[in-house]
Structure 1
Amino acid sequence: MKYVIVGGVAGGATAAARIRRNTEKAEIILFEKGEHISYANCGLPYYIGGVIEERDRLFVQTPAAFGKRFNIDVRTRSEVTAVDVAAKQVTVRKADGSVYTESYDKLLLSPGASPVRPPLSGIDLPGIFTLRNVSDTDRIKGYMQQHNVKRAVIVGGGFIGLEMAENLHHAGAEVAVVEMADQVMGPIDYSMAALVHEHLLQKGVKLYLKQAVEGFEKNGEEGLTVHFKSGIKLDAELVLLSIGVRPETRLASEAGLKIGEARGIYVNEYLQTSDESVYAVGDAIEFPHPLTGKPWLNYLAGPANRQARIVADNMVFGNKVKYEGAIGTSIAKVFDQTVASTGLPAKRLKQMEIPYLSATIHSSSHAGYYPGASQMDIKITFSPEDGKLYGAQIVGYDGVDKRIDEYALTIKRGGTVYDLVCLEHAYAPPFSSAKDPVAISGYVAGNILSGKMTPLYWRELQQADLSKVTLVDVRTADEFALGGIKGAVNIPLDDLRQRMQEIPTDKPVYLYCGVGLRGYLASNILKDNGYKDVRNLIGGLKTYRAAVAPLPAPGTGNTGGTSCCSSSSFTESTSACECKPETEVKVIKVDACGIQCPGPILKLKKSMETLVPGERLEVRATDAGFPRDAEAWCRTTGNRFISSASEGGVYKVMVEKATPCAVEASRPAVEEHGKTFILFSDDLDKTLATFVLANGAAATGKKVTIFFTFWGLNAIKKVNKPKVKKDIFGKMFGMMLPSDSLQLKLSKMNMLGIGAKMMRYLMRSKGIDSLESLRQQAIDNGVEFIACQMSMDVMGVKREELLDNVTVGGVATYMDRAEQANVNLFI
C-alpha cells in the first residue's frame, strides 16, 4: 500500500508517523513545499520577540531525522501542484522547477491555511509581513536585526496579533494594534475582551478599534505610513498583517473534490473527502460543530493532531474511527494575562438565534490566604431549558489552562452546568480553593436556572430607563464614595434589612456590588421580604465598568505613567513621583494579594491610618481595579497617589500620606452655587415649571433642592398610598385636596378640569415629558426633595403618603440649603 501525504506540518507529519506505527509494510511519501516539517508553529512569535532564543528549538524533527526514524520518504521543497483522482497521482514541482508525477493508493491532504493579504495599496512594500511559517519568521527576524524598529503596527487583534504585540513590545518596539471590530480577541465576548483592552493599555499598547486600514506608503529610508479609512495616519518601521487566514483548497477544488458551505474541504465523519481514496485534515477542512451541527473552520493545532491520528487509522484499517468534531478550545498569553475560550460565546449564540443564558464570576486562582493568588474572570454560556453548557471564556493569570480544559471536556461530553459542580477538583491552598472557580460558575448558573437569582446583564443595565427602576448599590459607603453607577442609591448589604423601607415595592429593583456576590445575597433578602421584581448585575461593577468604559484615544494618556505629578487617568507606570527623592521617604509595604474587592482598598485605608504624614504605603494587590480605586480614594481623601505598576497579574500602588493642612488644601473650595426652590402651589402649570427649572439646574452639576410646603405637598404624594390613621381635620383636608399629582389643576383656564386634561394631551402630542416623568428625572438627577414638617402637621399629611425619596425637614433645613445657593425661587 502506497500512502502519499501533502503537507508536512502538524496534521501531515503526525499522520505519517501514525501510519508507520500501524504498519511496517507500507510505502509512505511526505511532500512539503517548505524547507521544514513538524515545527512549532505556535512558538514563532516568541522566537521573534527573543523569548525563545534558539531557533533550533522550534523544530520537533528535522526532515532527515524524521525520515530515518519512521522510514518515511520525506521530500521538502516539493510542492504538489495538482491531484488527478481518476489516475490516482499527484503532480509535483521541485525547487529547481522540474515537474514529475507520483502515484498513490491513498492520499492525505493537509495543506493548511494561508494568511489573508487584501489588495491594499502599498501592501508589498518592504517592512510589511505576515506570519504563518518559519520562512516568514526568518524574514521578520532578519528585518528587525537590519533595521531600527522603534514602532510597529499590527493589523488585526486576534490571538496571533496580540501574541506578536507582546513579543514586539518585548523586543523594544512601541506597538499599535488596529482592529476593524470593536474588540480584540474575536472568539470571546465584548465584556471579556474589555478586560484585555484594560491590560493592553496598561502595558502601553495603543488600540485603534473600529478602524480599517486603507493602504500603506513608504516614509523615508526605513519608515512606513499606515493610512486608515477614517483619515488617521500611523508611522512605523514594521507592519504585521494578522487579519486572518483562509483554507488552502485550491488543490482539492481543481481536483474536483467537494468544497463545503464554509468554503473548506468537505470531509465525512471518517475524514474522507468526496473521493473514497482521498482524506483531508487540518486547517483546510470544514467539519460540523458538535453544538450547532453546522460546518465550520477550525484553525487550531490540537484538533489537527487529533484528526491526523484518526485518519491514519482509517487509511490503514478502513473507516472504523469517527471524528467527533472540535469546539474551538484556544488559549493565548497576552503580556501578563492568559486568555482562553471554548465552545460558543454569547455573541455567536445570539447570531445563530440559539436561546442562551450566561453567568460571569470573578474568583481567585487559588485560596486567597495563600500568597500569590490572582484574579480569574470567567463567563459561561448555557441553555435556559436544561442548562446544557455551550461555552466558557476566561481572562486571568494563573490556572486558566486547567479550568478551560475542564469546561471543554464538559462541553464535548454534552454536559450541563450541573456537571460543573460535580467535578472533583484537587484542592490544596497553593493550587485551588475548596470551592473551585469552575464549581462556583456552576452554582451561579444553577441559581439563575432555578430562579433563585434573576440576572441583570451589563447591556440591559446600560440601556435601561433608570427612571422606571430603583438602582441600589449594596457595597460599603467607602466603596460607593469611590464611584458607582449614576442614579444608584447606596444601601450597604449589612444595612439592607434595617433600611428596606427606602426601596419602593412598586417598581423593579436592580442591585449591584463589586463582583456580584453581595448583590446575590441582597436579592435573596428582598425577594424573601415580598419584592417581586429583583435583579442582580451579573459580574458586578467590575464587568460593567470594563464593558461600558470608553477607550482613551491613543496618544491621549493611555501609555504614560500615573503619578502625583500627573492628572491622567490610571495607566501603567514603573517610576515613582519625582516630587520628592525616594531616599527621604519611609515606605511601608502591605500585601493585599488574593483579596477580592473591596478588601484591597479597605486595607489601604486602614494601613494609612497608622502612617504619619510624609510616609508612603506600597500596596500589592491582584485586583485589577485596585489602582483605579486607589487613585480615586486619594482624590477624595487628599492623600497623594504616587505611582502604579503591574507585573504578572500583581498591581503595585504607592500612596503618600498628606498632612492635615495639605488634605484641606487639596480639597476644592465650596462654591455656594446651589439652587433652591420653594413650591408653595399645587397648580399643574406652576408645578411643571418647578421641575423643568430644577432639572435644568441639576444638569449643570450643581446641588438642587426643592422645599415642598403647604399646597406644594400635593405634587409629591404617592398614587397608591397606604392606609394611615388621621384625625378629623386630616380627613377633611384629604377629601378637599388633590390625592396625587395626577389630579392637579391649572391656575387659569382650568374649566372644571378640562384645561388640565388638555394641557397633558398637548404635552404628550408634542413629545413633552409629563409632570410625573419630569419629577422622576429630578429624582434621578439627584435633586433633593424636602417636605415641610409644619405643613404636613397642619394639613394632616403623613410621611407614608409621600414619595419614598422625600425627606422631612423644617425651616432650619431650608435655610441651610439657601445659604449655600445663589438662586432661591418661590413658586
Structure 2
Amino acid sequence: MAKKILVIGGSASGPKAAARARRLDFDAEIIILQKAHDLSMASCGYPYYVGGFFDDRNQLLCTPTGVVRDPVYYMKAKNIIARTDTEVTGIDRKAKKVTAKNLLSGETETYEYDKLILAMGATPRMPPVPGIDLDGITTLQSMPDADYLRKVRDEGKIRKAVVVGGGLIGIETCEALQLAGIKITVVEMLPQILMFLDWQLAKILENHVKAHAADVITDNAVSAFLGDEKGKLRAVKLANGDEIPCEMAVVAIGVVPNTKIAKDAGIETGRTGGITVNEYMQTNDPDIYAVGDCTEIPQRLTGSNVHAPYGDLANLEGRVAGENAARGNIVTFPGTIQTGVCKVFDFSAGSTGISKAQAEKLGYRNVVSVTTSGPDKPGFMGAKILINRMIADGDSGKILGFQCIGMADASKQIGMAAMAIMGGLTVDQLVNADLPYAPPFSLAIDNIVACAHALQNKIRGLMEGCSAVEVKAKLDKGEKPFIIDTRSPEEWEEMRLGVGEHLIPVGALRHRLNELPEDKNTEIITYCKISLRGYEAARTLIANGYTNVKVMEGGLMAWPYHREK
C-alpha cells in the first residue's frame, strides 16, 4: 500500500520536502496543503521585486526554466497534489488525520497521513503599541505584501515612509522604497542596525544608508502609530516623544514561528517558540517532522537552539525531512552557524559564526579578533574595499566567526569563512589556504587570507592592534597617544581623521624617528588607509626600541566616525 506523506505549508521547505520524498518514493501519495494562493515563493526576493530590480512577479514563483510552480506544475512535473487556499485547522495524531478548510468554498476537508511534515513558516512580529491597525501599516512577509508595496512604488503617490526595524528585511525594504523616490526613515530600538554585525561595522553601514538620503534612528523604539480622522497613518511616534510624519510604515522587527496547530496537537516547542526537532527533523511524534521557519534548530557553535528563519536552511531542512519521511531516518541536519548576507545599497554585508562577545559569554578564555580592510582584487582591475573582522580562539587557533562589509562582494568571503568554521580550521591552516587567483577575480593573497595573516600576527605577538572604537574612546577620555598617519601627503590632503595625528609616510619613518617622543614607552598608534603600511611602520618602531606600539586595525576605511576630510 502506498505511503501517504502530507505536507502542511507550501513556501520553501514544504515543497522541497515533498519533491525530495517523491524522488525517493515514486509510489507515495504526496499532498501539499497551502493556506496562501501561491506556492514556492522566493520570499527573499520580495524587496528586489518591490525595488524594481525586476518587474515580472512570476519570477518569484517559477522554476529556473520559467515555469510557474502552481498546482498544475506540481501534478504534471512531480505527481504531487498541491492544494492552495487551504487552511489547516487541526491535527489528530491518534487518528493520523488533518482537518482543513477550503478558503474558496468554505468546506471542511480531511486528509490522512502516514508521515506528516510541518512547514508552516512564521508570521511577522508586530509591536504592541497603539495604532497598529491603522491603514498604511504593512509588513513584507508575503506575496500580497510584496504586491502591495510594488503597487505603492509604481503609483508613486506616497512620498514619506518609516521602516520599523533595522535588521535584514528592514534595511532591504529601506533600499527598495528609497529607489522608488520615497523618503525613508529607519527606526531601530537597539543601539545599531544589523545586529549580526559588531557595532563598528554596523555604524559604517549606517553612514552608508544615510548617504543615500535615508535617515536612521537607533536606540529609540516606536511608542505609537498616529492616525488622522479617516483612520489613515499620519505619523510614527517614538519613545523619546518625537513624531515622524509619514504616509506608510513597514514593520520589519522579526517573525514568530507558526506553531499553534502543532502545540494544540501536543507537538513540543522550545525556548524560542519554535517546534523542537532532532537531527532527523523529527518532532516528539515519530511520524511528524517539522522544517523551516516554524522550527528551532541547534546553533552548532553554542549548542543552544535558535530560531533561524533563513531560506537556505529551510530548503536544507526540507530535503532532510523529505528523505526521512520517505525512507526512514537516514539523513541528518546538524544545525546552523547562522551564516547570512544582505545588500545595503552599494554595500554588501554578512556574517557567519559567533562574535567576540558571544564567544566570551560561552566561556572561551582567550578570544582574539582582528579587523582588516583591503581591496577585493588588484587596483588595475577596478578594486573595491572590503572590511573584515575575524574571531578565533587564541588557545586552539580555531576560527569562531567572521564578518565582512564593503562595496565588493562580501558573500564570497563569508562563504569561505563559513566552510572554514564548519571544517574546524585554525588560523594557521587558513593562512595557507589554496584559493583560486586571477586578477579579474581576486588578489594573489585573497582578502580573507590576508585577514587571517593579521590575526595570526596578533596571536603570535607580532602585532598589537586596537580598533577604531578603542582609539576614539582613548581620545574621548582625554588620553593623548602619539598617532602616526603613514600615508602620502597627497592622500593626507584628500582624506584625514583630524584627531591630532602626525603625517609621517612609512617610507620616511626611519629617517624621522627624531620627531617621535623621546620616551620609548609612549603609546604610539599607527595607521594608513587600510593599515598595511601602519603594520609595517609598527614593526619599524618596535625594531627601533619602541615598546608600546599599536596598529589601528582596518585603517581609515574602518573608521566609523566623522573625518576632517
**Is the TM value for this pair above 0.5?**
yes
How far apart are the structure 1 equivalents of 2:99 and 2:149?
Answer: 32
Match of 1:784 in 2: none
Q: Gaps (5+ residues) in structure 2?
A: 63-68
Provide the residue aligned with 2:66 in structure 1: none
Change (3 A) 1:214 1:73: same
Q: 1:219 to 1:419 in 2, by over 3 A?
A: farther
- Alpha-carbon distance in structure 2 between the residues aligned to 1:100 and 1:356: 57
Map of 1:430 onto structure 2: 440
Residue of structure 1 in register with 2:25 after alignment: 23
Q: Quick one: which of 307, 330, 353 aligns to 2:317?
A: 307
Q: Deviations over 1:98-125 (max 9, x none)?
A: 3233221111111111101122211111
1:278 counterpart letter in structure 2: I
Deviations 1:134-185 (A, max 9, x none): 1222233345556711111111111111111111112221111111122211
Return the alpha-carbon distance in structure 1 between the equivalents of residues 483 and 50 of structure 2.
Answer: 50
Structure 1 counterpart of 2:218: 209
Give per-residue Cα distances to partners, 1:345-397, cap 9 Å, x unaligned.
Answer: 33433554544222222111211122x22122222211111221112222123
1:292 pairs, out of 296, 302, 320, with 302
Query: Structure 2 residue aligned with 1:521, among 503, 523, 536?
Result: 536
| Aligned-partner Cα distance in 1 for 2:430–2:320 | 29
Is residue 2:376 matched to residue 1:365?
yes
Question: Contact (CA 8 Å) 1:127, 1:143: kept in 2 or not?
Answer: no
Letter in 2 for 1:129: T
Q: CA deviation at 1:268?
A: 0.8
Change (3 A) 1:375 1:468: closer
Displacement of 1:219: 3.8
Establish whether residue 446 from structure 1 lines up as the match of residue 456 from structure 2. Answer: yes
In 2, Cα distance between the equivalents of 1:529 and 1:374? 35
Distance apart, 1:12 and its partner CA:
0.2
Which of 281, 297, 302 is 2:291 aligned to? 281
In 2, Cα distance between equivalents of 1:460 and 1:398: 26
1:495 to 491, 494, 508: 508
Q: Which structure's relative contact order is higher, taking Cα pairs within 8 Å and 6+ residues apart?
A: 2
Q: Could you say if the C-alpha distance between residues 170 and 469 of structure 1 is closer, same or farther in structure 2, counting changes exceeding 3 Å?
A: closer
Q: Which aligned pairs between 1:173-188 and structure 2 lie closer than 5 A?
A: 173-188=182-197
1:35 and 2:44 are equivalent in the alignment: no
What is residue 396 of structure 2 aligned with on the other side?
386
Retained in 1: the 8 A contact 2:348–2:409? no
Counterpart of 1:73 in structure 2 is 81
1:189 correspondence with 2:198: yes
Distance (Å, rounded) in 1 between the aligned partners of 2:425 and 2:94: 45
Give, in angstroms, the shift of residue 297 of structure 1.
Answer: 1.2
Q: Give the fraction of aligned pairs with identical amino acids, expressed as a percent.
A: 35
Is the 8 Å Cα contact of residues 167 and 195 (structure 2) preserved in structure 1?
yes
Residue 177 of structure 1 aligns with an amino acid whose one-letter code is V
2: distance between equivalents of 1:530 and 1:359? 24
* 1:510 paired to 2:525: yes
What pairs up with 1:682-693 in 2 under 5 angstroms?
A: none
> Which digits, 9 at most, give the CA deviation of each residue in 1:193-225, with x for residues without a partner?
122112111111111111211111224766521
Correspondent of 1:134 among 143, 155, 160: 143
Q: Which residue identity lines up with residue 227 of structure 2 in the other structure?
A: K
Quick check: 405-414 or 391-400, which moved more? 391-400
Moved more, 304-313 or 83-92: 83-92
User: 2:106 aligns to what?
Assistant: 97
The verdict on how the C-alpha distance between 1:324 and 1:422 changes in structure 2, with shifts beyond 3 A counting, is farther
Q: Distance in 2 between matches of 1:417 and 1:52?
A: 41
Give 1:466 deviation, angstroms: 5.8
Is the CA contact (8 Å cut-off) linking 1:410 and 1:419 kept in structure 2? no
Residues 1:429 and 1:315: Cα distance change in structure 2 (over 3 Å):
same
**Which residue number corresponds to residue 655 of structure 1?**
none
Kindly indicate whether residue 164 of structure 2 is the aligned counterpart of residue 155 of structure 1.
yes
Q: Which residue of 2 aligns with 1:641?
A: none
Which residue identity does 1:500 align to in structure 2?
Answer: L
Mark the CA change 1:283 to 1:473 in structure 2 (over 3 Å): closer, same or farther. Answer: same
**Structure 1 residue 305: deviation in Å?**
0.7
Q: Are the equivalent residues in 2 in contact too, given 1:468–1:507 (CA < 8 A)?
A: no
Q: Is the 8 A contact 1:187 1:341 kept in 2?
A: yes
Change (3 A) 1:223 1:102: closer
Q: Tell me, in whole angstroms, the C-alpha distance in 2 between the residues paired with 1:242 and 1:172.
A: 20
CA contact (8 A) 1:466 1:487 kept: no
Give the equivalent residue in structure 1 for 2:91.
Answer: 83
CA contact (8 A) 1:7 1:109 kept: yes
The DSSP-based 3-state class of the residue aligned with 1:497 is: helix
Q: Aligned partners of 1:350 and 1:193: how far apart in 2?
A: 20
Question: Is the 2:137–2:233 contact (alpha carbons within 8 Å) kept by the matching residues of 1?
Answer: no
- Is the contact made by 1:36 and 1:63 (CA closer than 8 Å) also made in structure 2? no
Task: Decide whether aligned partners of structure 1 residues 519 and 443 sit closer, same or farther in structure 2, where only a CA change above 3 A counts.
Answer: same
CA distance in 2, matches of 1:537, 1:392: 19
Match of 2:551 in 1: 536
Which residue in the other structure is 1:239 paired with?
249
Query: Aligned partners of 1:352 and 1:237: how far apart in 2?
Result: 45
Counterparts of 1:386-405 in structure 2 under 5 Å? 386-405=396-415
Question: Number of paired residues?
Answer: 549
SS in 1 for 2:330: coil
1: CA distance between counterparts of 2:229 and 2:271? 46
Distance in 2, Cα, partners of 1:287 & 1:223: 38
- The residue type equivalent to 1:68 in the other structure is K
| Contact preservation (8 Å) 2:97, 2:110 | yes
Corresponding position of 1:4: 6
Q: Kindly tell me: are residues 147 and 510 of structure 1, through their superposed partners in 2, closer, same or farther at Cα, counting changes over 3 Å?
A: closer
Unaligned 5+ segments in structure 1 are 550-627, 633-827
Mark the structure with the bigger radius of gyration.
1
C-alpha displacement at 1:476, in angstroms?
Answer: 3.9
Deviation at 1:469, TM superposition (A): 4.5
Q: Which amino acid aligns with 1:506?
A: N
Summarize deviations over 1:508-539 as a string: whole Å, max 9, x none: 33333332112211221122233333221111
Cα deviation code 1:783-809 (max 9, x no counterpart):
xxxxxxxxxxxxxxxxxxxxxxxxxxx
Instruction: Show CA shifts across 1:57-90 (max 9, x none).
Output: 1112112211221111211111112222222222
Query: Contact (CA 8 Å) 1:7, 1:33: kept in 2 or not?
Result: yes
Task: State the TM-score, normalized to the length of structure 2.
Answer: 0.92
Report the secondary structure of 2:52's partner residue.
Answer: coil
Q: 1:334, 1:144 → 2: CA distance?
A: 19
Give the whole-Å Cα distance in 2 for the aligned partners of 1:169 and 1:473.
37
Normalised to the residue count of structure 1, the TM-score between the two structures is: 0.64
Q: In the TM superposition, what are the counterparts of 1:220-259 in structure 2 within 5 Å? A: 224-259=234-269
Deviation at 1:248, TM superposition (A): 1.3
1:301 Cα deviation from its structure 2 partner: 0.7
Whole-Å separation in 2 of the counterparts to 1:232 and 1:474 = 44
Counterpart of 2:287, as a letter, is S
Paired residue secondary structure (1:359): strand
Question: Does the CA contact (< 8 Å) of 2:31 and 2:81 recur in 1?
Answer: yes
Q: What's the counterpart of residue 486 of structure 1?
A: 499
Q: Against the structure 1 CA distance between its residues 350 and 114, is the aligned structure 2 distance closer, same or farther, given a 3 Å change threshold?
A: farther
Q: What is the rounded CA distance, in whole Å, between the counterparts of 2:389 and 2:166 in structure 1?
A: 20
Q: Is the alpha carbon distance of 1:433 and 1:309 closer, same or farther for their aligned partners in structure 2, counting shifts above 3 Å?
A: same
Q: Does residue 124 of structure 2 align to residue 112 of structure 1?
A: no
Q: CA deviation at 1:485?
A: 5.4
RMSD of aligned Cα (Å): 2.1
Contact 2:118-2:291 at 8 Å conserved across structures? yes
Paired residues of 1:148 and 1:237 also in contact (CA < 8 A): no
Match of 1:46 in 2: 48
Match of 1:269 in 2: 279
Deviation at 1:17, TM superposition (A): 0.6
